[in-house]
Structure 1
């Protein structure tokens, strides 16, 4: 392949890599870790360092500090948050080509590996994720390129680059140290057997000393974090770890359904075979002993991080596929070499080896394309969980209420909601600590004392925080649930308490009396929630059947029903010596025209044929309560 053609091919691959990474960059919602990183990056760099040590954040500070300055220039949209990762992901593709060139790989293998990284669903996922993993990928690739260049021809500039890039890599993610371990093993194996190269080890030791001097103070300050981190992943057996690792490299997390273990084994087995074949192919192609250490570099570059993470996860549940990102480049380099090796295996046997290699390449690329398609089109594989819908629902259900009278409560401290909800209503976490039932009850008492009359609770699955419904149980001690709606991934429950009731004395059939009511807000927009409270009382000789139901309705000017809420009459709780207050919630239709509407209440018995209504002493089958104003839609 001519140099000009190779350069044009590389340029096309880089443009493709950037296009795939920037396409729909802001379309999917932030996930929890992205939102955490966003809020963690907002304070000053000094505050970020202090918070990392105080809160025992398990990642170092480089990515947060960089994001702090970037957000100040680019803004706070999802696109802006993720663009840093897109940039680093694209740079990583260029660095892949640089590494292949430093290793003197054949042009076809070099371009093939670069193209595989460019279209990799695994790499693209991280390039569209506002976390440090794409940055880790680029920095570990960069330090590898610099290290290979220095070991071939030591120069001061290359040594300084190794130190700076090594420092940045270690201050981005602690697991990047595993790549440095692989490079040190490579340096030892590539220089020790040759006497004229051994003196380079002294210079290499100086480079490592520079990296250690730059990271040592931080590692000492963060030693309690490194020693005390209990993990946020799992500890799979080695076969499962290899299956998950190689299948995610091959086709991404969306390439196979989580339950499709057979498909994962297929992709893992196929890619592992090609990787091993690629290693053998390169070792055979580099006939000189000194050249063969290039192949060993790739094998160490892949195996050491995998082995280190596997060993680390034995004692603590810290395995997660995203931690493998630094080992992705050698995987794709060896995979491309393996595809070329299929052709060499069948040399002299006709055209079938090329056909087999072509089919395998199509299969691998097809799996990657399928993974990308699922990631972008199937919600189960994407990042969107419905946060935008939830934020909009919170806006609607708190609309027209005094902000001081409303709270948004989470039963798990997920920061993502606070990126999307920017309204005036305060929020809190209930329970305030994991499994803290007493703390939840105390917080609810504080809400009641503060005259908070409406609480919005999106219920999040939180096995490690609120597995037993502590938040719901605590709120139901003082509030009544009036609305429950499925919004995105969450059931959203609205709890209410009444303001001061307007006294009434409306007697109905069967010895029932409507003793008072309240409704708020009296003016609200379409899509809002009207909370109604009715005070019921029974006479000493009441003839209630227990099957009665209450209907609270909103009527337009012509008497047409536009919205309602029907609930059983709390017959068992009714007393003659006091009123029982029951809560109702009327959801205003989104398309309801603005204007004045009449709020009425009535009681009927669905157990009787025709569901007759209970009449007042005046013979009316309804009680007009108030006029409610629906505001124009914004």
Structure 2
């Protein structure tokens, strides 16, 4: 297939490439690395053998890490250097999108629009500024698509094209597993293309060539198949449950239009405009003759195949994020560029009507302004910050003393912590390399390492607790309870985006406990489902309740809550605590294990009604109910009561 002369459009294309690179590198190190980028920094600095071993146990293949490792040897390991490969790939994607659009649509206007939309798209920009594999994956995907389109449209393609496609496709699947889904979509489009628009004499030969190329990619990927299937079986970095497909599709739509930097309530309204532009582009392409429909074929399968495949996988393995289908985004960009850029001549219709230039211009302006709005949020709106590890460490350094130690929850965040504070060796709770949602902290797990870290001979008497993803590994707040039992919170807490920092002093190792510190046993069972083992008042006024699934109770998805009211020594009502789940919000009753004693931490302000409680004698009443029951009928105890009453106990405030 011949292409239109392109010389007159080289200067605008160069300008768009410069714009893409400028945007991708603008404030490239303005934000802190977050956890995933910290993992990149850690893995890339390992030797090749260790890097390969680590990625075989991770959820991503190794090629991207090899690229960053090689570049890091030249440019160093600064935030800017770690992210520069992604910025480069984002720029390359812009150029490749122009080449792909030109090859498919035979239109310089379509090519320039494809480059414009890619250069400005907020999701391309976001991952072009992140030290992760998604920008590299997208560039390889577009290159694979370009090569396949060229192979489909050429009667006698150069001999190097098929090997180049095999190499690119292999590189893509070694960058991210989900590249496979795009390759299947592209292969389907290729076959439709060949059998619909190519001469009969070429169809069989081209189909056999595609099959041979696919087998070659599979052969080259064989060494990594064991790691792939091992991760599908053993990945414990997500909670089990059912995928909410509607929510997942909304996440994809928001990401593919506003990136990661538009508030959802605004993005949902903007989706109306994006939907109208998309519908307009589809109609334009459908009415655009063979060229338009060929563009529509590739764009639609490019967009839909990865999204559908990943969602189907997520039904079985309910782990999903819109970035997992970023490889489908070029399909949408191609659809927009083709639909808004194909000229009447290129549509090859018999009686082309005058092009409604105003409508097309308005659609293009809507996309450009929408992208600019999202991009401004990414650059300048603190609501879209990455987790602020760098800022936390900068705050901590002048304040931490020689007698204090960092306690890091969750411990698997060590890579990003080590990047910014390699000299501040933390206590990691739990000590994991990769997140495991089943590794929920309790007193048995946290007591021994805390006792060892703050043993008398260490001279350490204070701790700075750094919380990140604590709602996953410490949903019941066991670590702060341990630190409060051992010492006292000093009141120098600080909040950073995505992170929490709390200071505790006066720690003594013998006060850390390795079993639930039940001070007052109760042994009250509610509804033959859950047992209140006992409770303990803490010396800062907080209250600990200890629960256990009733022995012999069947597994249940009941969403058990409790309601607690307190009273003074003379029986006068004092406070009504907010109703809540029996333990942490992210640790519902359905997740409890048989025999496990689960802790509920109730703040003094909730059950005593004051942020500065006074010492005294206080009691409480407590009832348990299923929040899924519209009537909220209390579960009865063994004696038929609907609540348990604990008479006034001494509450001391140190």
Task: State whether residues 230 and 316 of structure 1, in contact with CA within 8 Å, keep that contact through their aligned partners in structure 2.
Answer: no
Q: Does 1:493 align with 2:494?
A: no
Distance in 2 separating the partners of 1:243 and 1:188: 31
Residues 1:253 and 2:251 are matched in the alignment:
no
CA contact (8 A) 1:119 1:368 kept: yes
Matches within 5 A, 1:213-612: 213-229=219-235, 232=238, 237-255=244-262, 257-260=263-266, 262-263=268-269, 265-282=271-288, 284-286=289-291, 292-340=293-341, 353-383=356-386, 385-399=387-401, 401=402, 405-413=403-411, 414-415=413-414, 417-419=416-418, 421-422=420-421, 424-432=423-431, 433-449=439-455, 450-489=458-497, 490-497=499-506
SS at match of 2:472: coil
Question: Greater CA radius of gyration, 1 or 2?
Answer: 1
Aligned-partner Cα distance in 2 for 1:69–1:157: 26
1:36-75 matches, cutoff 5 A: 36-53=39-56, 56-75=57-76
Shift of 1:441: 1.4
Shift in CA distance, 3/187, structure 1 to aligned 2, threshold 3 Å: closer
Equivalent residues of 1:82, 1:130 under 8 A apart: yes
Matched residue, 2:80: 79
> After alignment, is 486-495 or 156-165 more displaced?
486-495
Match of 2:165 in 1: 162
Separation in 2 of the partners of 1:236 and 1:342? 42
Cα-Cα RMSD: 3.0
What is the match of residue 145 of structure 1? 146
- 2:406–2:465 contact (8 Å) kept in structure 1: yes
Shift of 1:407: 1.6
The Cα of 1:42 is off from its aligned counterpart by: 1.7
Contact 1:391 1:417 in 2 (8 A): no
Partner secondary structure for residue 109 of structure 1: helix
Question: Matches of 1:397 and 1:378 in 2, distance apart?
Answer: 28
Matched residues in 1 for 2:352 and 2:151: separation? 40
CA gap of 1:494–1:30, structure 2 versus 1, over 3 A, is: same
Cα deviation, residue 336, structure 1: 1.8
How far the C-alpha of 1:395 sits from its partner, in A, is 1.1
Instruction: Give the secondary-structure state (helix, strand or coil) at the position aligned to 1:26.
Output: coil
1:109-138: per-residue Cα shift (whole Å, max 9, x none)?
Answer: 121111100110110001001000000001
What's the CA shift for 1:571?
8.9
Deviation at 1:143, TM superposition (A): 1.4
Shift of 1:569: 13
Is the 8 Å Cα contact of residues 406 and 425 (structure 1) preserved in structure 2? no
- The CA distance in 2 between the partners of 1:279 and 1:250, in whole Å, is 20
Question: SS at 1:426's partner residue?
Answer: coil
Superposed CA offset, 1:22-79 (max 9, x none): 11111111122111222122211111121223xx311101111221121121111111
Contact 2:389–2:417 (8 Å) recurs in 1: no
| Helix, strand or coil at the partner of 2:405 | strand
Q: Specify whether residues 379 and 212 from structure 1 end up closer, same or farther in structure 2 by C-alpha distance, changes over 3 A only.
A: same
- Assess if the C-alpha contact under 8 Å between 2:427 and 2:449 holds in 1: no
Q: Is the 8 A contact 2:83 2:130 kept in 1?
A: yes
| Number of matched pairs | 491
When residues 245 and 421 of structure 1 are mapped into structure 2, their CA distance, relative to the original with a 3 A threshold, is closer
The answer as to whether partners of 2:39 and 2:416 remain within 8 angstroms in 1 is no
Tell me the equivalent position of 1:517. Answer: none
Secondary structure, counterpart of 1:492 in structure 2: strand
Instruction: Tell me the CA shift for residue 387 of structure 1.
Output: 2.1
> Relative to structure 1, is the Cα distance of residues 498 and 184 closer, same or farther in structure 2, using a 3 angstrom cutoff?
closer
Classify the secondary structure of the residue corresponding to 2:398: helix
Residues 137 and 175 of structure 2 are in contact (CA less than 8 Å); yes or no, is this contact kept in structure 1? Answer: yes
Where structure 2 has 5 or more consecutive residues not aligned to the other structure, the ranges are: 432-438, 509-610, 617-654
Moved more, 152-161 or 167-176: 152-161
**1:86-105 aligned within 5 A:** 86-105=87-106
CA drift at 1:422: 2.5
Secondary structure of 1:147 counterpart: helix
Deviation at 1:417, TM superposition (A): 4.8
